[in-house]
Amino acid sequence: MFVKGTDGVLQIIGGMLLYGLKPGTLHQAAALLTQRELAKDPRDWLALHLLAAAQQLGDARLLGAVYLCIHGVLKLLLAVSLLRGVLWAYPAMIGYLVLFIGYQLYRYSFSHAVGWLLLAGFDAGIMWLTWREYRAFRQPGS
C-alpha cells in the first residue's frame, strides 16, 4: 500500500513539475546529459533514444502533466482506501489500472515511445501486488 500511495504522490509531483517546465528545458537537459556520450559515439543507442524521448515529452508536455496528475490522484485515493481496509478498493484499483494500462498501450501503438511501455509495466506490477493483497485479504483466517 505504501508503494502505491508513494507512487501516486510522486506522479502528482511529477505532473506538476512537468507542467511547470518550459517546452525546451527537458530537451536541453537531455542534450546536456548525453553530449559526452554522443561525442564518443554519435550512434549511441541509449543517448539517442533519451534525446528522442525528451523531445517527444516536451512536445506532449500538457498531456503528460494532466495524465500524471490524474493517474496519481486516483492511485493515491485508492491507496488510502486500501489502507483503511475498504474491500471495494481492491477491485477498483485493479480495474482502474487495467484501463490505464490499456490507454498506455494504445498511446504506445501510435508513438512507439518506450516511456509508455515502462509506465504500463510499472502499473502491471502494481496491479499484480494489489491482486496478491486482495487474495490474502479475502482468505479466511488472515
Alpha carbons 51 and 26: distance in angstroms, whole number? 9
Q: Which three cell numbers stand for residue 43?
A: 550512434
For residue range 55-110, what is the model confidence (pLDDT) as tens digits?
776 667 787 788 888 888 988 888 888 888 888 888 998 998 899 899 999 989 98
Domain boundaries, the chain: 2-138
CA-nearest of 43, 63, 44, 39 to 115 is 63
